[in-house]
Structure 1
C-alpha cells in the first residue's frame, strides 16, 4: 500500500466525513471545571503573596503556581468526569459482546521487537495464535513479529525461536517473522514498512508491544466493532499492568488497576471520537493509517528535528484530521502489558518519551488538527514540563524566603502613606491553600478505590476494603517519596533536550532482576547531593522554610536507598504475601498469561539461554540454511554507497586465523553486517576454531 508523507502545515482533504458524538457535559465539566478551579486557586495564591505589592520573585512564583495548578486541576476534573461516566455512561466505555460472531475481514497482529528476549516475544506470538485457534478465529488473524534488532546474537536467537515454533507444527494462526536490515525511523518506521509491504492484504491491524498481550475475545470484539463502524479509524484499549514483582513495579501495577479506570473513563467520556493512541494494544484501520498517518521528518537536527519519536499521539491526530474517529474503550478488558521494574529503568524510558513529547511543540501549529487532538499533544508536553515548573516554584519560594531575611523591606510603598505596609505572607491562607492543593491531588486515588470496592471481583483482588485502603496508603507514601526524584530526573531530561542532546534508542529492560547498588548510587548521587544542598540552604534561611521544603527534600535525600529498595522483587513479593498492593489478575491469572509464561520457559530451554550467534549457527545446519535463505539484498548506503561495517568486517576476517580471533576483533556493527551478507556469512562459518587452526 502507498503511505504518503503528510504535510503538517497545509490542510488536507478529509478521507471521511468528520463526526463527533461526545456528550457536551463531560467537556463542560472537565474544561470549565478545571478553568474555574485554576482561577480560584490562583486568586487565593495571589491573596497569600500580595499582602504588600508583588515583588518580581513573587510574580514569578505566582506564574509558576498558575501553570502547575492548572495541570493538577485538569487531572482532578478528568477524575470527577470518570467517576460520573462509570456510574451513568458505562455502555459508552465498552464494546458490544460478540456472541458467536467472527469478523469477516482479516486482521494482522503486529509485534515490533528491538533487541528483546526472543523467548518472550515468540511465546507471546504462539500463545496468541493458540488462543485464537481455540476460539475458532485462526483464519481471521495472522501474526507478524517485526524485528528491528541490532544485536547479532539476539537476531540469530530470534530466528532460532521462530524455527522452534515452526517445528511444533500445530495448525494455528499463522505467524510470520521478518527483520529489517536498517531500522529507519524506529518503531514508527517498522510499522510503516509493514503497511507498505503487506497492508493491502489486511483491512485492520493490531499493534502490540514486546511485553503486551491481548485475550482472543478482546481481539475478536475489536475486529468486529471496527468492521461495523466504517468511520472509525482506531480503537484504543487500556492495558492493565500485570506480572510485576518488584516493589516499584507493583506500586505502578496497583495504581494502574485501582486508579487507572477512573482516569481513563474520564478521558474517554470527554474525548468521544477525538480520542488518542498510545502506540500499542489498539486496532487500526489500515486504509485510514496509510492514507492519513504517514509521518514527516521534522526540520532541523534532533532532539527537536528528525523523525517523530512519540509517533502515536501524532498518528492519532493526523488520522482525526482526516475525519477518522479515534475511540478509547477503557472497560473492554483482556488487554495487558508490563511496566519497568525499577526507577532507573523508568527513567531510561522516560528520557526517550520526554524528547518525543517535547517534539510535539513542533506539531501543535499543524493546520487542520481537531482541538481535542491539540489538547492531547499539549498534555503530553505538560506531563514532562510540569516537573521543571514545580522545581522552579520550589526554588522561587526559597529565593522569596532569602529576600525576606536579607533584604530590607519597603514599608512605605507610596509617597504620602500614613501607615506602613507589613510585608508578611498570610500564613493561615497559605496553609489552607496547601490543604486544598493536597486534596485535589489525592482525591482521585480515593475515587479509584471507591470504584474498585464497588466491583466484587476487584474488591476481592485488592484484599477487601481494609487491605485496599492500606495498599492505597502504602502506594501514596512511596509515590510521594518518588515524586521529587522523578521531578529531578525529568527536569534534567528537559534541560538535556533544550540544550540539544539526543536520547538515542536503547532497548528496555523488562525482567525483575535487581539493579546493582553501584549502578543505583551512580544514577542517584546527584539527586541526593541536590537534596542535601537544598535542605541546608533552607535551614540556613529558617526552620520554617526547611519545614516547607521537607516533602520534596525527603525523597531526594533518600534517593539511593529508596531506588534500591523499590527495585527489589523480594520486598514486593513480601507485601503481596500479606495481601498488600495486590490485583485480581494475580489470583485468577488469565489463561493467555499463563500460556505465554509456559511457552517462554519452553522456548528458553530450547534456545539454551544466551548463545553467541556464530556458535548457534554452526551447531544447527538447518538454522544456518534458514538464516541464509532469509537474507535480502541491502541497498547501498553510507558514503559513496559503501557499507563501512561490512568492508571493515571482511578485512578483519581475511586477517583472522580462527573464529575466536575474529570475534575478538569484530565490533557488534561489523558482526551484524557480516551476518547480513552472504559472502560475509560464508567466511564467518568457514573459519576454523582456534584448536583446529593449531
Structure 2
C-alpha cells in the first residue's frame, strides 16, 4: 500500500505567541532628584511656543471671576460682624468656585477654538517605522477585545498602510477560563486574517497592574517599535485616526505623547446614554479649551494615545511610593505621572482634540461608575505625594492638582453645605449677644444679604452650566452634529434632560466621593477588579444596600431643615431630592429599557449612534458573532486536557520556566500537584482545584502533563471518582 509522504511529515510547530524580543532598558525614575542639564533641547523650537495668550485668558479670566465671586460672597456675610464659621464658608466657596470658574474660562476659549478648527488634511502616503498597537486586558470578555482589534486592523489595512502596524494583546488575566479563551480567540483571529501580525503575551503575576503590563512590553519588545499606540480594553479607533497619529509622531521629532479625544459609544442604559450625550456635546468644547492652554505641556489619559517608545522607556519607569497603600506602593493613576515625567525630560505632550475616530465605552450604571471612581479617587489622591516631584514643569503640576481637586471638591462642597446648616442652626437656637463688650447703641445681629446671596447663586449656576450651553450651541451650529443628534429641538430637549438628571445625581456622587476620600484618608486600599462593561442591570437588592444610607441622610436633612427654616429646604432642595431619590435614580440609571426608549424617541442621541462609524459597526458585528460561538465561557482545564493540538499550542505559548531555587516552593503549584496526583479523573481535578491552583496548572508544563493523563470521567459507573476516594479514605 502506498503511503503519502505528506502523512510522514511531522506537524509544523505552532506560530509563536510573541515575536523575537527586542529589549529596552526602563530605569526607575527618581521623584526627588532631577538634573535639569539632562533635559533634551527642542529640534524644532518654532513648534514649542508656549501658548501665553490662552493661558493668560483662561487662568487670568478664572482668577478675575473668582475674585469677583469672593467679593460677592464676602458681601453676603459682611452685613453683620463676620463670625469664624462665616469666614470658613467664604473660604470654602472661593475654593470650589475657582474650580468651576476655571472650567468656564476653558470652555469659552474652547468654544471659539472648536468653531475655528481646521479641516483634516490628506492621509500620508507612507510611514517610516513600525507602530505597535497594544491592548492591555484584564479578565475581559475575549469576544469584545479581539473583535475590536480585528476591526481596527481591517480599517488600518484599508488605508493601504497596514504593513506599518503590529498588534499585541497584553494579558494580565487571572481567570483561568478567560486565559484559555483569550488564546483560542487569538488562534481564531490569526485564521481569519492570515498574514497579519497578532501577538499575545500573558503575565503570570500582574506586578504594578496596568503600568507594569505596559512596562513589561516595553522592556521585552520596545526596541523593535519606534512608537506604540496604547488602547484600553473598550477602545476602538478608525484606521485613518491610527495612521494620522502615527504620522503625527513621525512628523514631530519632539513629540513624546500625542493624546486623542475618545468619544463614548455603544451605550444603551439610561445613565450610560446620559454620559455618552454629555461627553459628545460638552466634551469637545472642554477638550479644545484644555488643549489650547496646555499647548505642548499636556497630559495623557492612559489610552487612545500614541507614545514614543524609547522616550517612554528612558523616562517613565515608575518608582514605588514609600509606605503602604493607599498612599504608598505602586502608583495607581500612572498615566498623569508618565506624562509629567516624559515632559520633564524635554519631550512634548499634547492633544489633538479634533482628530476624530477615537472611541471608548463608559460604565453602564451609577453603581458601576462609583466603583471605577473609587479606584480613580485613590490614584488621584496618591498624586499628592508626586505633585512636588523635582523638575516637573508647572503645567504638569497643574494637571496633577486638577486630578486631586476633582475628588476633594466633593467633601469641600459637602462641608460648605454643612456649615450653611450650622449657621442656620446658630441663628435659630443660639441667643445672639445683642450688646458686646464694645459700647454700641445697636445690637450685633447675625445677618446676611439675601438678595446678594441669590444673585451669587444664579451666577454660580450660570458658570457651572456654561460648558454645556457652549457645547449645545456648537452642536446646533454644526450641521452634521445637529442632524446626528436628531435636530435642534431634540438636541435642546436632550440637553435639558441631561442637565436635570445630572443635577439630581450630583448630590449622590458628592456623598459617594466624600466617603471614598474619607476611606482613603483612613488607610483603606482599593482592589483591582475588572470593570463591568455590558448593559446588564444591577440587582435592585444591591442598589438598596448601596444607597439606603444616602436615602436616610436625605430624609434626616429634609426633616431637620423643615424644622429649622422652610427657606433652607428650598435652598437645599436639589441636594435633598437627589439623596431621597437615590435608590430609584440609581435603579433607573442602569435600566436598558429606559435608555432604549429614549433612543426610540430620538433623545440623548449622538451622531455616532445615528450613523455608526464603520469601524465601530464592524467591531460590534464581530463581537456578536464571536459571542454566539460560546467559546468565552468554556472550561479552560477541559479545553487543555481534551484537545491535544490546542494543548501543544498552549504549551508553546508558555514562557520558558526559569530554574527554581532550592527551598522556594510555589504554594499553589505544590497544592495543585498534590490534588492532580490524587485525582482519578478530570472531574476530580475540576472539583478540587481552586482558581489560583487552576492558574498554576495552566502555567506549568509538568502539571499540564499530569492533567492530560487523567480520564475525562470516573471509571466506576454511577459514581464519581471523588466519591470513591472518600469511601476509600473511610475504609482506611
Q: Quick one: distance in 1 between partners of 2:254 and 2:657?
A: 39
Q: How has the CA–CA distance of structure 1 residues 78 and 663 changed in structure 2, closer, same or farther, with 3 Å as cutoff?
A: same
Q: 1:636 to 1:246 in 2, by over 3 A?
A: farther
The equivalent of 2:409 in structure 1 is 386
Cα distance in 1 for partners of 2:556, 2:702 equals 60
TM-score between both structures, scaled by the size of structure 2: 0.92
Task: Show the counterpart of 1:124.
Answer: 148
Deviation string 1:535-558 (CA, Å, 9 cap, x unpaired) is 222222222222221111111111
Partner residue in 2 for 1:63: 91
How far is the alpha carbon of 1:255 from its aligned partner? 0.5
What is the DSSP-based 3-state SS (H/G/I as helix, E as strand, rest coil) of the residue aligned with 1:641?
A: coil
1:240 matched to which residue of 2?
263
What's the Cα RMSD here?
1.7
Residue pair 2:178, 2:632 contacting (<8 A) in 1 also: no
Distance in 2, Cα, partners of 1:429 & 1:61: 15
Identify the match of residue 289 of structure 2 among 243, 258, 266: 266
Give the number of aligned pairs.
Answer: 689
Kindly state the Cα deviation for residue 169 of structure 1 after the two structures are TM-superposed. 4.7
The residue that corresponds to 2:11 in the other structure is none
Query: What's the counterpart of residue 26 of structure 1?
Result: 54
> What is the aligned partner in structure 1 of residue 445 from structure 2?
422
- TM-score, normalised by the number of residues in structure 1: 0.96
Match of 2:505 in 1: 482
Q: C-alpha distance in 2, partners of 1:488/1:306?
A: 27
* Alignment deviations for residues 363-403 of structure 1 (CA, whole Å, 9 cap, x no partner): 11101111011110000011111011111111111111111
Q: Is the counterpart of residue 510 in structure 1 residue 533 in structure 2?
A: yes
Q: Report what 2:121 is aligned to.
A: 97
What residue ranges of structure 2 are gaps of 5+ in the alignment? Answer: 1-23, 718-732
Distance 2:321 2:240 in 1: 39
- Identify the range of structure 1 (404-413 vs 652-661) with the bigger mean alpha-carbon deviation: 652-661
3-state SS in 2 of match to 1:328:
strand
- Structure 1 position 98, deviation (Å): 3.6
Tell me how far 1:610 sits from its aligned partner.
1.0
* Superposed counterparts of 1:70-109, under 5 Å: 70-88=98-116, 90-91=117-118, 97-109=121-133
Show the 5 A alignment for 1:480-629.
480-629=503-652
SS in 1 for 2:31: coil
CA distance in 1, matches of 2:698, 2:716: 22
Which of 155, 170, 175 is matched with 2:194 structurally? 170
How far apart in 2 are the matches of 1:49 and 1:666? 68
Q: CA deviation at 1:649?
A: 1.9
Range 520-529 or range 112-121, more displaced: 520-529
Counterparts of 2:316 and 2:577 in 1: how far apart (Å)?
Answer: 45
Deviations 1:240-271 (A, max 9, x none): 10111001000000001111010000000010
Query: Contact 2:123–2:244 (CA<8 Å) still a contact in 1?
Result: no
Match of 1:38 among 66, 71, 75: 66
User: 8 Å contact 1:52–1:422 — kept in the other structure?
Assistant: yes
Give deviations 1:32-79, integer Å, cap 9, x for gaps: 111111111112111112222222222222221121111111111111
Where does residue 632 of structure 1 map in the other structure?
655
What does residue 180 of structure 1 align with?
203
**Is this contact kept in 2: 1:528–1:557, CA < 8 A?**
yes
CA deviation string 1:211-258 (max 9, x = no partner):
011111111111111111101111100001011100100000000111
Aligned position for 2:434: 411
Report SS of the residue matched to 1:642.
coil
Cα distance per residue 1:98-155 (max 9 Å; x no partner): 4451211110000000000001111111112222222211210000010000000100
Q: Is the 8 A contact 1:9 1:367 kept in 2?
A: yes
Pairwise mapping of residues 346-495 of structure 1 onto structure 2 (< 5 A)?
346-413=369-436, 415-495=438-518
Other-structure match for 2:727: none
Give the match for residue 40 of structure 2.
16
Q: Deviations over 1:315-340 (max 9, x none)?
A: 00001101111011100000011111
Moved more, 331-340 or 607-616: 607-616
Contact 2:432–2:444, Cα closer than 8 Å, also in 1: no
